[in-house]
């Protein structure tokens, strides 16, 4: 009887050590959390594209403006003034990869039939720089119609800068 | 003088008494009992990596971003541009003992715009402390992004408790 009683007391003692761990054994710590909310890429045109002045042959034809601002064409064209590629600035995310894309179906309009503007080219880097900037030039091809009416022609096109 | 009869009786009586005095010890039995105790070490906790949702371009309209303990980030309409990391912690406790992990509530990330709620914490922790008395685990959470959410850096605090 006595022996059994002592065993029971020991068992109860062991249970007491495992159940009901005091809160003094737990620990609480503070962790940090963060996030960076970005805005969409902002693109601004610094300099509009200009083919300057062109005297085409009666047959018309395509002229190509490079990102360096030079124009090449087939024979018979006379160029005057200073052509300029389009110049753009985009603000995105430092060092993040980026790509540039363009609209299609653009024209310049004026006194005569609309002239097709397309085949856009650009010299953008493949990523934003360390200050989140991307500066680039845009060239294009302008298709002049036969006997194109002289005068001022203007148009628009869309530039998209992607992450 | 003791007769033979008397001596036999005395002998019997002595024998009987001898048996009577020792009887409870012969009927008893003894058994070995086992007693165990686990000495628990107070738990300590170290943050190895901050929880970071990284660079987030939100859609139009409020939406939630979920970051899992495996560092998988997702959310409807968001563009994620890298820099995300699950929180990583190491708890020091007692090998083999269960680890109970709980988190704070009402946390937010604050910054240039409206505060964003941070909640629904998840972990990939094992159920018990490992053989080296440690438990290393990752923490994920959900971030409630508003609309519009002013661009910029946001940060905040969450609280984690580890108990047996």
Asked, for residue A8, whether it belongs to a domain, the answer is no
* Residues A115, A148 contacting (CB under 8 angstroms): yes
Q: Nearest CA to B159 among B105, B91, B89?
A: B105
| Paired sense of beta strands B63-67 and B73-74, if any | antiparallel
**In terms of residue numbers, what domain contains A89?**
48-162
Radius of gyration of chain B (CA): 35
What's the rounded Cα separation, in Å, for the pair B68 and B124?
9
Given pLDDT bands bounded at 50, 70 and 90, which one contains residue A5? very low
The predicted pLDDT at position B54 comes to 97
Helix (H) or strand (E) holding A12: helix A2-18
Over residues A30-48, mean pLDDT: 95
Q: Percentage of chain A with pLDDT > 90?
A: 80
The predicted pLDDT at position A22 comes to 61
**Per the CB < 8 Å rule, is B152 touching A36?**
yes
Q: What is the mean pLDDT of chain B?
A: 88
Q: State pLDDT tens for residues A120-152.
A: 999 999 999 999 999 999 999 999 999 999 999
Residue A17, token pair as written in the block:
């050590």
Asked if pLDDT for residue A3 goes beyond 60, the answer is no
Contacts of B160 in chain A (CB under 8 A): 28-31
Over residues A49-54, mean pLDDT: 97
ipTM score for this prediction: 0.79
Given pLDDT bands bounded at 50, 70 and 90, which one contains residue A25? confident
**Per the CB < 8 Å rule, is A21 touching B163?**
yes
Asked if pLDDT for residue A81 goes beyond 60, the answer is yes
Given pLDDT bands bounded at 50, 70 and 90, which one contains residue B23? low
Going through chain B in order, the beta strands assigned E by DSSP cover: 44-49, 51-57, 63-67, 73-74, 79-80, 87-92, 100-103, 107-109, 116-123, 134-145, 152-163
Least confident among A62-71, B9-18, B41-50, B75-84: B9-18
Of the candidates B35, B40, B89, the beta carbon closest to that of A14 is on B35
Asked if pLDDT for residue A158 goes beyond 90, the answer is yes
The predicted pLDDT at position A23 comes to 67
Q: Which residue has the tokens 């710590």?
A: A29
Asked, for residue A18, whether it belongs to a domain, the answer is no
The predicted pLDDT at position B17 comes to 43
Q: State pLDDT tens for residues B37-94.
A: 888 989 999 999 999 999 999 999 999 999 999 999 999 999 999 999 999 999 999 9
The predicted pLDDT at position A130 comes to 93
- Nearest chain A residue to B86 by CA distance is A33
Q: State pLDDT tens for residues B119-129.
A: 999 999 999 99
Contacts of A132 in chain B (CB under 8 A): none
Given pLDDT bands bounded at 50, 70 and 90, which one contains residue B36? confident
Query: How many domains are there within chain A?
Result: 1
The predicted pLDDT at position A93 comes to 87
- Nearest chain B residue to A97 by CA distance is B81
Each domain of chain B, given as residue ranges in start order, spans 44-163
Residues β-bridged to residue A43: A90
Contacts of A27 in chain B (CB under 8 A): 42-45, 91, 161-163
A to B CB pairs, distance under 8 Å: 137
């Amino acid at each position: 009887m006595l022996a059994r009683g002592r065993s029971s007391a020991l068992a109860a003692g062991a249970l007491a050590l495992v159940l009901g761990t005091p809160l003094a054994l737990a620990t609480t710590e503070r962790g940090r959390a963060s996030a960076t909310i970005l805005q969409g890429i902002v693109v601004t045109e610094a300099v509009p594209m200009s083919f300057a002045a062109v005297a085409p042959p009666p047959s018309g034809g395509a002229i190509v403006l490079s990102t360096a601002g030079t124009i090449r064409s087939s024979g018979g064209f006379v160029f005057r003034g200073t052509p300029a590629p389009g110049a753009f600035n985009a603000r995105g995310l430092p060092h993040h990869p980026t790509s540039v894309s363009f609209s299609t179906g653009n024209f310049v309009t004026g006194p005569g039939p609309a002239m097709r503007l397309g085949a856009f080219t650009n010299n953008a880097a493949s990523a934003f720089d360390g200050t989140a900037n991307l500066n680039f030039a845009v060239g294009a091809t302008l298709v002049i119609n036969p006997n194109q009416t002289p005068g001022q022609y203007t148009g628009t096109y869309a530039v998209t800068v992607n992450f | 003088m003791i007769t033979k009869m008397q001596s036999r009786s005395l002998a019997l009586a002595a024998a009987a008494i001898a048996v009577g005095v020792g009887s409870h010890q012969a009927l008893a039995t003894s058994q070995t009992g086992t007693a165990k105790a686990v000495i628990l070490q107070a738990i300590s906790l170290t943050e190895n990596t901050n929880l970071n949702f990284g660079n987030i371009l939100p859609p139009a309209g409020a939406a939630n971003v979920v970051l899992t303990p495996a560092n998988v980030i997702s959310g409807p309409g968001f563009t994620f541009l890298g820099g995300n990391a699950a929180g990583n912690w190491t708890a020091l406790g007692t090998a083999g003992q269960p680890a109970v992990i709980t988190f704070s509530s009402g946390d937010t990330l604050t910054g240039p715009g409206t505060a964003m709620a941070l909640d629904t914490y998840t972990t990939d922790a094992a159920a018990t402390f490992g053989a080296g008395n440690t438990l290393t685990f990752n923490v994920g959470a959900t971030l409630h992004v508003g609309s519009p959410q002013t661009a910029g850096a946001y940060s905040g605090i969450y609280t984690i408790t580890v108990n047996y």
